[in-house]
Amino acid sequence: MPVLEISNLSKAFGGLKAVNNFNLRLDEGEIVGLIGPNGAGKTTIFNLITGLYKPTAGTIHFCGEDITGLPPFKISQRGIARTFQNIRLFKGNTVLDNVRAVFHPRIKYNFFDALLRTPRYNAEEARVTREAMELLEALNLAHRANEKAANLAYGDQRRLEIARALATHPKLLLLDEPAAGMNPAEVKRMVELVRYIKERFKLTVLLIEHQMSMVMNLCERLVVMDFGQIIATGTPLEIRNNPVVLEAYLGKGATVA
């Protein structure tokens, strides 16, 4: 059974067809790259999968269940997590609290436990801190746990975002430009990180990225969009040599490294 199956998905904003008859199947353990020029519809696909937008037409199935049109919190509960193009952290809070905050909606104590600091409250808080620290260790951020998120270097902030996404225990992770603004050494580290978390947390990954070195090195398969539609799919090598893809990028300033 596929982890994700998108069938004939469309989204219109007034007269603009941001996504037009989009189809995609992701099998367990795949890392697939979604690429295309600016405005192609990539982020709209993420917003549709995660329930931020309701589709104009089409369906989205996750692990065999129809999740089309469900609200974002329900989709997150089923096991889909994402990061955003623009980093979204509680910058004034510590690194640890940024991850702990993700656990709190699922915490198992009530208002009175919290008020009276009962043993149940203390045990749950200890569990949440332990789980959050485990994630920070996996992402090599444990030594910065008590630092304010704002003080982290850009690459570390991106890793913290990923830690927050993983705290929801996803099966499918959607990464929106995780290597944006990174230098080649940082991109290489991000490639290694995504490979590592994919194995460690048994993830399937769909990734939007403009950094071609990232998608070329990391993804087994690429899906190329332009004007809301898929214009090509294939291995990185096939895509690199595909004239339709080169044409979509040419004149729009993108380069295939």
Contact positions vs ligand ATP (CB under 6 A): 13, 16, 18, 36, 38-44
How far apart CA 100 and CA 2 sit, in angstroms, is 31
Structural contact between residues 133 and 146, judged by C-beta atoms closer than 8 angstroms = no
Least Å distance, CB 38 to ligand ATP, is 3
Residue 44 or 242: which CB sits closer to ligand ATP? 44
Least Å distance, CB 99 to ligand ATP, is 26
Least Å distance, CB 256 to ligand ATP, is 15
**Alpha-carbon torsion (133, 139, 140, 144), positive or negative:** negative
Residue 13 or 112: which CB sits closer to ligand ATP? 13
Phi, psi of 133, deg, nearest 5: -65, -35
Residue 4 or 163: which CB sits closer to ligand ATP? 4
- Phi-psi map region of 202: left, alpha, beta (phi>0 left; psi -120 to 50 alpha): left
Least Å distance, CB 32 to ligand ATP, is 15
| Amino acid at the residue 251 | G
Residue 32 or 163: which CB sits closer to ligand ATP? 32
Phi, psi of 114, deg, nearest 5: -70, -40
